């Protein structure tokens, strides 16, 4: 229905997890899938991957995955390996707008962090200058 190889699917990994944006092929199968997702009859995803970094807690018998090595497959499914997954149908234009908004927000956050670091450095210089000035008096 969509593929990274064909350039019709984008995968993103952030602090929330794996994000998938797909531009569905113009086929009856893709149209049926879109309708099943839109109506809520299919609302989960599954994916195949190899792990780059993880940890296991024997006390809780819990494995935590921190990063993926490679993602091989993503699929809309009835019975996912991870219940927390979700899938929803949106218009391509709206999805692109949301991605752009997230990108711009990320840029703003990075700029704010850089400004905070610059402000801290300026404050440190002012304090150092004041200390040197007091020492000379």
Could you tell me which residues are beta bridge partners of residue 74? 47
Last residue of a domain, one of 54, 73, 89: 89
9 lies in the same domain as 48: yes
Same domain for 55 and 18: yes
Query: Which residue in the block uniquely carries the two structure tokens 């040197």?
Result: 132
Domain check: are 50 and 78 in the same one? yes
User: Both 84 and 98 in a single domain?
Assistant: no
Same structural domain, 59 and 49: yes
Per-residue pLDDT of the chain (137 residues; tens, 9 = 90+): 888 889 999 988 877 788 888 888 889 998 899 899 989 999 999 999 999 999 999 999 999 888 889 888 899 999 998 888 999 887 767 777 888 888 899 899 999 999 999 999 999 999 999 888 887 76
- The whole domain housing 10 covers 1-89
Same domain (yes/no): 104, 84: no
**Dihedral of the CA atoms 125, 126, 132, 135 (nearest 10)?**
-150
What pLDDT score does 120 carry?
96
- Same domain for 83 and 97, yes or no, is no
Q: Mark whether 57 and 34 lie in a shared domain.
A: yes
Q: Which helix (H) or strand (E) holds 51?
A: strand 44-57
pLDDT of residue 137: 65
Count of domains for the chain: 2
Measure the CA–CA gap between 68 and 50, rounded to whole angstroms: 6
Residues 19 and 73 reside in one and the same domain: yes
Total-model pTM = 0.55
Say if residue 82 is in the same domain as residue 27.
Answer: yes
Final residue belonging to a domain, choices 89, 106, 127: 89
* Same domain, residue pair 74 and 84: yes
């Amino acid at each position: 229905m969509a593929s990274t190889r064909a350039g019709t699917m984008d995968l993103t990994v952030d602090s929330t997890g794996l994000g998938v944006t797909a531009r569905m092929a113009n086929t009856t199968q893709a149209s049926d899938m879109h309708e099943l997702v839109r109506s809520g009859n299919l609302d989960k995803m599954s994916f195949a991957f190899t792990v780059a970094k993880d940890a296991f807690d024997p006390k809780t018998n819990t494995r935590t995955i921190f990063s993926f090595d490679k993602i091989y497959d993503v699929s809309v499914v009835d019975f996912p390996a991870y219940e927390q997954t979700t899938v929803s149908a949106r218009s391509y234009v709206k999805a692109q707008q949301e991605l752009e908004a997230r990108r711009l927000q990320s840029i703003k956050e990075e700029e704010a962090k850089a400004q905070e670091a610059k402000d801290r450095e300026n404050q440190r210089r002012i304090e150092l200058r004041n200390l040197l000035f007091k020492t000379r008096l």
